[in-house]
């Protein structure tokens, strides 16, 4: 699971950033709206933060990063422009959030070209949480050089093996003494901000809930899965996992479908766990369950899958997939039904949350086995859940995670016939064969 690492490089001191008004035609300003809505990612994050004792939920990189992704979803040409000019934003690494005057907050992410930090992009949210902007800061000033070098030290440590990559990383930065009070607005010759606006710019346009995609995900799960199942590399993966189940060695095994290069096996795993590693380098993953717990995707699997979805290119969330095979010819694949704005923020589910959900899946399984006298959800001869029972437990877990209707579940039979599993209003499921 993901963990936050506070990388203590330097002491924190106050950083002052002035808010200069700037707009383009598509950006929302106070002159266009008398009562602006809060930006959804910040509203939801701070509400949950106030109710949670989980230390991981205090990382403001979550709403800043998801706001940036939503902006790029809405304005893909801006993403291309920024990447061509400055480099790619690494949303897994950030500064700590810094309190500014008048209730504002600042947080920065590094931008990399060929693995080297070439710039820093900083976001500032106002006290009302209804206006956010991002500026890119390059070299040519000691303060900017300092930030670039500070972030670069993290990547240097990774390459030398001095630091373990554990997911999201917080780099503690400070602002040195300056001859000018505020370098962020008047250095570099930039007019206005690289990205800015209110709720309409940084969400999907669906109001404060932030759950409706601005454009539909056009990937057809049936076509995608059919293409996958016909791919020799996926066939080899599925065969290997089934052979592993029949080998008697026990435990789980996993395969990574890498964005670059052929698929690779995961490191040595446990009886009921697989560690897939860096999700940003994956298109998808496959693993097996052992037949001794719940033989459909666990809450841990769903959380891992969301990480893979999160790192797909903007507009291509449907490219991600996650598969599981288990005894008795169980074979399921899931896809994401939505865009980046629909993905829960990274870190929304703590390790404790996932553990509780996994335990709830086991309890639900036991309850069904004890109460299902008609055999709708279980096979009485084996005292195991059948596909209907597994699917019920899975869809109930999606609902608890706030992912109802956001994940498409598909079933593959022993003859590689594919069906999309649909949850009906009464909680039961039905299969719709893919054409």
Rounded to an integer, what distance in angstroms lies between the CA atom of residue 113 and that of residue 259?
Answer: 18
Per-residue pLDDT band at 116 (split at 50, 70, 90): very high
Lowest mean pLDDT among 211-225, 331-345, 404-418: 211-225
Look at residues 105, 62, 64, 51 and name the one whose alpha carbon lies nearest to residue 348: 62
pLDDT band for position 432 (50/70/90)? very high
Cα torsion angle, 89, 93, 99, 105, sign? positive
Beta-strand runs (E) in 18-176: 88-89, 93-95, 98-99, 105-113, 116-125, 132-137, 169-171
pLDDT higher than 80, residue 335: yes
Residue 7 pLDDT grade (very low, low, confident, very high; cuts 50, 70, 90): very low
Q: What is the β-pairing status of strands 88-89 and 105-113?
A: antiparallel
What is the DSSP track for 286-338? EEE--SSS--S--HHHHHHHHHHHHTSPTT-GGG-EEEEEETTTEEEEEEE-S
Residue 192 has a pLDDT of: 55
Residue pLDDT, tens place only, 181-209: 344 443 333 345 677 777 666 654 333 33
3: pLDDT strictly greater than 50 = no
Count of C-beta atoms within a 10 Å radius of residue 86? 19
What is residue 236's predicted lDDT score, i.e. its pLDDT? 92
Asked if 25 and 120 touch (Cβ cutoff 8 Å), the reply is no
pLDDT score recorded for residue 130: 87
Could you tell me the pLDDT band of residue 34, with boundaries at 50, 70 and 90?
A: very low
In tens, the pLDDT along 9-20 reads 222 222 323 222
Give the lowest-confidence range in 24-28, 53-57, 178-182: 24-28
In what helix (H) or strand (E) does residue 282 lie, and over which residues does it extend? strand 282-288
Rounded percentage of the chain residues whose pLDDT exceeds 70: 76
How far is it, in rounded angstroms, from Cα 286 to Cα 272?
A: 14
Query: Which has the closest alpha carbon to 16: 120, 95, 124?
Result: 124
How far apart, in whole angstroms, are the C-alpha atoms of residue 391 and residue 411? 10
pLDDT of the residue at 383: 79
More reliable by pLDDT, 22 or 362: 362
The string of pLDDT tens digits covering residues 122-179 is: 888 999 998 888 888 886 667 778 889 899 998 888 776 555 555 568 888 875 443 3
Q: What is the pLDDT of residue 240?
A: 92
The pLDDT value recorded for residue 389 is 92
Query: Beta 378-379 vs 321-326: how paired, if at all?
Result: unpaired
238: number of CA atoms within 13 Å, CB side?
Answer: 22
The predicted structure's pLDDT at residue 357: 93
Query: pLDDT (tens digit, 9 = 90+) per residue, 57-95?
Result: 577 898 999 889 888 888 888 888 888 888 999 998 999
Summary mean pLDDT of the chain: 77
* 205 touches 214 (CB < 8 A): yes
Q: What is the mean pLDDT of residues 362-367?
A: 91
Q: Which of 45-49, 117-121, 159-163, 368-372 has the lowest mean pLDDT?
A: 159-163
Q: Whole-angstrom Cα distance, residue 216 to residue 269? A: 37
% residues pLDDT > 90 (the chain): 29
Mean pLDDT of 211-232: 69
User: Under a CB-based contact definition with an 8 Å cutoff, are residues 422 and 432 in contact?
Assistant: yes
- Is residue 110 pLDDT above 90, yes or no? yes
Measured between alpha carbons, how far is residue 347 from residues 60, 66, 167, 211 in Å?
Answer: 11, 11, 10, 17
The CB density around residue 403, as the number of other CB atoms within 10 Å, is: 20
């Amino acid at each position: 699971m993901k963990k936050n690492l506070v990388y203590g490089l330097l002491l924190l001191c106050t950083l002052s950033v002035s808010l200069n008004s700037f707009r383009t035609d598509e950006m929302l300003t106070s002159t266009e709206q008398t009562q602006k809505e809060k930006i959804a990612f910040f509203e939801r994050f701070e509400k949950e933060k106030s109710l949670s004792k989980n230390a991981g939920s205090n990382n403001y990189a979550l709403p800043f990063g998801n706001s940036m992704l939503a902006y790029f979803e809405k304005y893909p040409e801006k993403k291309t422009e920024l990447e061509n000019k400055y480099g790619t934003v690494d949303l897994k690494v950030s500064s700590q959030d810094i309190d500014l005057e008048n209730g504002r907050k600042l947080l920065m992410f590094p931008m990399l070209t060929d693995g080297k930090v070439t710039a820093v992009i900083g976001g500032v949210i106002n006290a009302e949480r209804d206006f956010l902007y991002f500026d890119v800061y390059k070299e040519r000033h000691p303060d900017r050089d300092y930030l670039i070098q500070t972030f670069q030290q993290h990547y240097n440590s990774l390459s030398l093996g001095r630091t373990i990559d554990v997911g999201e990383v917080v780099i503690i930065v400070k602002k040195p003494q300056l001859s000018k009070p505020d370098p962020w607005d008047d250095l570099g010759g930039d007019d206005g901000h690289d990205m800015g606006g209110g709720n309409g710019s940084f969400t999907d346009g669906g109001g404060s809930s932030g759950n409706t995609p601005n454009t539909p995900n056009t990937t057809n799960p049936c076509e995608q899965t059919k293409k996958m199942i016909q791919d020799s590399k996926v066939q080899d993966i599925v065969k290997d996992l089934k052979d592993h189940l029949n080998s008697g060695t026990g435990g789980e095994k996993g395969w990574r479908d890498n964005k670059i290069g052929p698929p690779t096996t995961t490191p040595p795993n446990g009886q009921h766990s697989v560690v897939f590693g860096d999700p940003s380098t994956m298109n998808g993953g496959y693993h097996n369950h052992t037949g001794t717990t719940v033989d459909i995707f666990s809450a841990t699997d769903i959380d891992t899958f969301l990480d893979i979805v999160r790192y797909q290119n903007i507009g291509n969330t449907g490219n991600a997939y996650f598969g599981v095979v288990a005894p008795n010819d169980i074979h399921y694949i899931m896809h994401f039904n939505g865009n980046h704005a629909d993905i829960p923020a990274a870190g929304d589910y703590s390790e404790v949350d996932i553990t509780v959900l996994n335990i709830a899946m086991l309890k639900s399984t036991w309850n069904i086995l004890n109460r299902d006298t008609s055999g709708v959800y279980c096979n009485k001869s084996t005292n195991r859940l059948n596909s209907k029972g597994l699917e019920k437990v899975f869809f109930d877990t999606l609902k608890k995670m706030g992912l109802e209707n956001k994940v498409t579940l598909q079933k593959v039979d022993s003859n590689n016939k594919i069906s999309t599993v649909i949850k009906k209003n009464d909680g039961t499921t039905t299969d719709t064969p893919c054409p």
